[in-house]
Amino acid sequence: MKKSNTTGARKPRADGSSRFRKFRHGESNRKPIYKFLGIFTISLCGFSFILQQDAVQTAFVSPHLNQVAWVCGKVLRTLGTQCEVYESSIVAARFSVQVIKGCESIYPTAMLWAALLAYPAAFGWKISGLIGGALILFLLNIFRVITMFYIGVYLPSLFDIIHIYAWQALFILVTLAVFLFWAVKAAKPHPAA
Amino acid sequence: MGKPPKSIYRAISLFIAKAIFVYALLFLAWSYAIPTYLIVVTSLANKELQVIGIVKVTRLGPTSGQDDAVGVYHRAAAEMQEVLFDFRIETVHSSLPMLLSLILPVSMTIRRKLKVALIGALLLCFIDSLGCILVMTWSYTFLPDHHHYTPFSNSAFRDSVVNFLYYFYSSIGDSVLVLVIWVSFCWKSAEIGKYFREVIPGPHRG
């Protein structure tokens, strides 16, 4: 059984410190994490706000969806699958798929960018992370659309499950992995570490 | 300039591989847990709607037809049995299996893992209940006749705020919340976190 003092008052620390005081004076070892989470959240809300604007949707998001469909169509034809691409739709004899809003890598990229911007690294590393990370996620998304196309052709009953759960989770884990690998590269360890 | 040790790359790769494996297992179990989870989440959402204090509010609950759908009912007694509309639980984007698959591979004691998993699950229940209210309110924006059943005042400002929150939440917010909960509870214990805690306050490569 856990012991408790009878008055219910919190026992003061021996050194008179508190977590809040430590945090305020920058002594808390969690302060960098809170700072990171703060900048990350603000950046992500900013990206999300920008991406939801009609002008951005028309000028950037819709053409991007068409580009994804076009690249996927090229890859599918290279793999020997006959298909046609109409705007953001990939049409084949056995199955058709449309790349819609949410099936792109823009939001995961925004999440990765927010994390890269919040992480304390040198400017050059940030630029390389922003470009490299966006490229990796774009390629991963191409792979996702192609696999979803083939799942639609050969295993249509699994299409929804894999689309909604499996790929979504995998995308987030890959984004996390990209960030962690980049962060290890971008940060210099202490001499003592 | 010291290179990062290879062990940290191995630790990250191992962690991601374990998370994928655990997610695959939890994903199989999740389909069985959805009906119970849905009852818990909608009950919580109903409590929250009552706390907001509007008398004639909407009631959320499971639907009789589908196991994975949240039904939206009018609270008014005469209309209570009639589902106005419903949405599948996937729309709420519950990331509970994802959160647990990130917590369980972290190197902590079993007791702490269970404690963190429980706290994380409760937090996510609360977030998902808010997600239900958000999806419901967003859906009401397309049903102007039913605006008076929502707990929020009817205005263009309300619609734009709900619109932003809905698209943010459904596109990336649900995943971000999972990562934020994970970082908040597990970063201290994770092997990767320990490495970064030594690194973050220091100077960085230029």
pLDDT top residue among A174 and B203: A174
B66, part of any domain: no
Instruction: For residue A193, name the pLDDT band (cuts at 50, 70, 90).
Output: very low
Inter-chain contact A188–B2, Cβ cutoff 8 Å? yes
Handedness of CA B2, B7, B9, B11 (dihedral sign): negative
B57, part of any domain: no
Whole-number Å distance between alpha carbons of A85 and B96: 37
Distances (CA, A) of B125 to B42, B99, B103, B168, B173: 9, 12, 16, 18, 15
B86, part of any domain: no
Whole-number Å distance between alpha carbons of A168 and A172: 6
Residue A30: CA count within 13 A, CB half-sphere = 14
pTM for this model (two decimals): 0.79
B173, part of any domain: yes
- Which residues of B fall within a CB distance of 8 Å from A113? none
Please determine, for residue A11, whether its predicted confidence score (pLDDT) is greater than 80.
Answer: no
What residue in A sits closest to B18 (Cα-Cα)? A173
A61, part of any domain: yes
pLDDT top residue among A173 and A26: A173
B195, part of any domain: yes
A64, part of any domain: yes
B192, part of any domain: yes
Whole-number Å distance between alpha carbons of B171 and A61: 13
**What pLDDT shows up at residue A151?**
93
Q: Mean pLDDT score of chain A, rounded to an integer?
A: 82
Please determine, for residue A180, whether its predicted confidence score (pLDDT) is greater than 70.
Answer: yes
Q: In what order do the strands lie in the sheet with B58-62?
A: B58-62, B69-74, B83-88
**What pLDDT shows up at residue A126?**
92
Average pLDDT over residues A65-77: 93
B1, part of any domain: no
**What pLDDT shows up at residue B119?**
92
How far separated are the first and last CA of chain B, in Å rounded? 11
**What pLDDT shows up at residue A139?**
95
Inter-chain contact A102–B171, Cβ cutoff 8 Å? yes
**What pLDDT shows up at residue A121?**
85
B102, part of any domain: yes
Nearest to A190 among B97, B164, B198 (CB): B198
Q: Structural domain of residue A86, as residue ranges?
A: 28-186
Interface membership of A183 toward B (CB under 8 Å): yes
Please determine, for residue A8, whether its predicted confidence score (pLDDT) is greater than 50.
Answer: no
Tens digit of each residue's pLDDT, chain B (206 residues) = 456 667 778 888 888 999 999 998 988 888 788 888 888 888 888 888 778 765 456 777 777 666 667 777 766 655 556 666 667 655 555 688 888 999 988 888 888 889 989 999 999 889 888 888 888 778 777 776 666 666 566 677 777 888 888 888 877 777 888 888 888 887 766 666 666 666 554 434 43
Place of tokens 């570490």: A193
Nearest to B98 among A124, A172, A177 (CB): A172
Domain tally for chain B?
1
How many interchain CB pairs under 8 A, A with B? 116
Interface membership of B4 toward A (CB under 8 Å): yes
**Residue B84 and residue B146 in contact, taking contact as beta carbons nearer than 8 Å:** yes
Domain tally for chain A?
1
Please determine, for residue A188, whether its predicted confidence score (pLDDT) is greater than 60.
Answer: no
What is the share, in percent, of chain A residues with pLDDT greater than 90?
Answer: 40
Enter the tokens of residue A102.
């949410």
Please determine, for residue A186, whether its predicted confidence score (pLDDT) is greater than 60.
Answer: yes
**What pLDDT shows up at residue B150?**
63
A8, part of any domain: no
Q: Which residues 41-80 of A have a C-beta within 8 angstroms of B?
A: 41, 44-45, 48-49, 52
How far does CA A58 lie from the centroid of its chain? 22
Q: Structural domain of residue B141, as residue ranges?
A: 6-32+93-199
Whole-number Å distance between alpha carbons of B23 and B28: 9
Whole-number Å distance between alpha carbons of B86 and B202: 52
From A76-90, A108-122, B76-90, the region with the lowest mean pLDDT: B76-90
**What pLDDT shows up at residue B198?**
60
pLDDT top residue among A111 and A10: A111
Average pLDDT over residues A34-61: 88
Q: Minimal Cα–Cα distance from B16 to chain A, Å? A: 7
Q: Minimal Cα–Cα distance from B68 to chain A, Å? A: 13
**Residue A137 and residue A158 in contact, taking contact as beta carbons nearer than 8 Å:** no
